[in-house]
A and B are shown apart, each in its own frame.
Chain A
Amino acid sequence: MARAAARKSEIRSLKSEVKNLKPLDLDRLIHERLRLGIVSALAVNERLTFNDLKRLLRTTDGNLSVHARKLEEAEYIACDKSFEGRIPRTEYRITAAGRKAFEKYLAHMEAIIKAAKG
Chain B
Amino acid sequence: MPARPEAIHAHAIENLRYIRETMERAGAFTAVPGWGGVLMGVSALAAAVISGPPDDTTRWVAVWLIDAVVAVVIALAATAWKARISGVSLFGVPALRFALAFAPPLVAGMVLTPVFVMMGLMARLPGCWLLNYGTAVATGGAFSVRIVPIMGLCFMTLGVVAFGAPAAWGHWLMAAGFGGLHIAFGLIIARRYGG
Contact = CB atoms under 8 A, between A and B. Distances in A.
Interface stretch (B21-29, B132-140, B144-152, B158-166): B21-29
A43 B23 contact: yes
Contacts of B3: 23
A109 interface: yes
B23 A116 contact: no
Interface string A38-53: 0011111111110110
Contacts of A64: none
Contacts of A75: none
B9 A55 contact: no
A112 B86 CA distance: 37
Nearest to B86: A55
Interface string A90-118: 00000000000000001001101101100
Contacts, number: 69
A36 B27 contact: no
A33 B22 contact: no
Q: Do most interface residues of chain A lie in helix, strand or loop, or is the interface mixed?
A: helix
A100 to B, nearest CB: 16
B12 A109 contact: yes
Contacts of B94: 45
Q: Among the interface residues A45, A51, A54, which one has the most CB atoms of the partner chain B within 10 A?
A: A45
Interface in B16-47: 16, 18-19, 22-23, 25-27
A45 B26 contact: yes
Contact of A46 (B13, B16, B93): B93
Nearest to A22: B2
Contacts of A110: 12, 16
Given A55-B88, A56-B22, A45 B12 contact: no
Contacts of A14: none
Interface of B: 2-3, 5-6, 8-9, 12-13, 15-16, 18-19, 22-23, 25-27, 86-89, 92-94
Interface of A: 23-24, 31, 33, 36-37, 40-49, 51-52, 54-57, 106, 109-110, 112-113, 115-116
Given A37-B22, A42-B26, 12 more contacts: A23-B3, A23-B8, A41-B25, A41-B26, A43-B23, A44-B26, A46-B93, A51-B87, A52-B88, A56-B25, A115-B5, A116-B8
